[in-house]
């Protein structure tokens, strides 16, 4: 009945019921992220910096698993299974569990300056054994050739996560038309730059990225076409 934070399932972590709607999940995620905001003065005396990082990572994992219908179904099935026999991981030492809370998907690790993930990069280490966290649709690792977020790269990243344009539209409240235009880089059909910026932020969040780099790189491409530097 009383559980350690490492043992909370994703629903308990987000403080929602197992039949929560996707809107509830969005809201819970927003709320819980504010609660565990890494610089919060309410946390540092209880949780160490690493623990806060790991909690935040788990919150991300939980959100990303529950928000997509497919991965949520898989996770629910896993939960139901683990109800009969206690999860094999329950006895695993703490340190190992913490490690498993680290991301299994490449999602955020693109950013070298990401403060959430300072200790998440060791890719050489053997992958942890399958855990609930693995139910996230594991995207292909991003090819190292990607140096820029172009429209086609965005599309590829979206498809890696098996998110359809329709789902993305639901998540971001963007029209499917605009998502298509963004991915096709049909700059002239897209709305003015400030609106586009907002769209891209939403897109980035849906993919699980810090928006800054994605938005800037995309807008640079946009500017090159739409606002070419004035020639003499």
Partner 1 sequence: MIEIQDALRKKEIWAVGGGKGGIGKSLITGNIGITLARLKKRVLLVDADLGGANLHTTLGIGVPEMTLSDFLNRRVETIQEVIIKTSIPNLSLVSGAQDFLDAANPNFAQKARLLRHLETLDADYILLDLGAGTSFNILDFFLFADHGILVVLPEPTAIENAYRFIKSAFYRRFKKVVSSQNIKDLIDAAMDQKNSMGIRTPYDLIERIKQLEPESGEGLELEMMKFRPKLIVNQVRTKNDIQIGFSMKSACQKYFGINLEYLGYVEYDDCVWQSIRSKRPLAIEYPYSRPARCIERIVHNVLRKEQLTASMLY
| Residue ranges in contact with partner 1 by CB under 8 A | 1-2, 4-5, 8, 15, 31-32, 34-37, 40-47, 55
What minimum distance in Å lies between the beta carbon of 170 and partner 1? 21
Nearer to partner 1 (CB atom), residue 12 or residue 159: 12
Contacts of 116 (CB under 8 A, 6+ apart): 38, 53, 56, 57, 60, 108
Buried-state track 12-46, b at ≥16 Cβ within 10 A, e below 16: ebbebeeebeeeebeebbeebeeebeeeeeebeee
Nearer CB in complex with partner 1: 44/195? 44
Number of H helices, E strands in the chain: 10, 0
Give the nearest distance from C-beta 108 to partner 1 in angstroms.
22
| CB 27 to partner 1: min, Å | 8
| Token digits of residue 23 | 């809107």
Determine how many CB atoms are found less than 10 A away from the CB of residue 149: 24
Which C-beta is closer to partner 1: that of 42 or that of 224? Answer: 42
How many Å apart are CA 159 and CA 9, to the nearest integer?
27
For residues 221 and 34, give the distance between their C-alpha atoms in angstroms, rounded to a whole number: 33
Nearer to partner 1, 40 or 81 (CB): 40
- Tokens in use for 19? 């039949």
**Shortest gap between Cβ of 39 and partner 1 (angstroms)?**
10
Minimum CB separation from partner 1 for residue 134, in Å? 23
Q: Which is nearer to partner 1, 87 or 106 (CB)?
A: 87
Residue 178 in contact with residue 187, Cβ under 8 Å? no
Nearer to partner 1, 37 or 96 (CB): 37
Whole-number minimum distance, CB 95 to partner 1, in Å? 12
């Amino acid at each position: 009945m009383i559980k350690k934070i490492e043992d909370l399932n994703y629903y308990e972590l987000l403080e929602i019921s197992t039949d929560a709607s996707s809107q509830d999940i969005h809201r819970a995620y927003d709320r819980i992220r504010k609660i565990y905001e890494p610089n919060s003065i309410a946390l540092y005396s209880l949780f160490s910096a690493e623990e806060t990082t790991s909690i935040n990572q788990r919150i991300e994992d939980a959100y990303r698993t529950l928000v997509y219908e497919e991965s949520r179904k898989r996770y629910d099935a896993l939960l139901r299974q683990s109800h009969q026999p206690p999860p094999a991981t329950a006895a695993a030492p703490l340190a190992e569990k913490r490690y498993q809370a680290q991301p299994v998907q490449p999602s955020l690790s693109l950013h070298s300056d990401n403060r959430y993930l300072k200790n998440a990069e060791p890719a050489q280490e053997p992958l942890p054994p399958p855990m609930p966290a693995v139910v996230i649709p594991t995207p292909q690792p991003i090819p190292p050739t990607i140096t820029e977020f172009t429209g086609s790269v965005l599309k590829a990243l979206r498809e890696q996560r098996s998110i359809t344009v329709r789902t993305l539209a639901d998540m971001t409240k963007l029209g499917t038309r605009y998502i298509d235009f963004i991915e096709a880089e049909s700059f002239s059909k897209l709305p003015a730059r400030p609106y586009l910026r907002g769209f891209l932020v939403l897109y980035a969040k849906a993919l699980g990225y810090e928006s800054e780099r994605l938005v800037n790189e995309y807008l640079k491409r946009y500017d090159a076409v739409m606002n070419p530097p004035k020639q003499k």
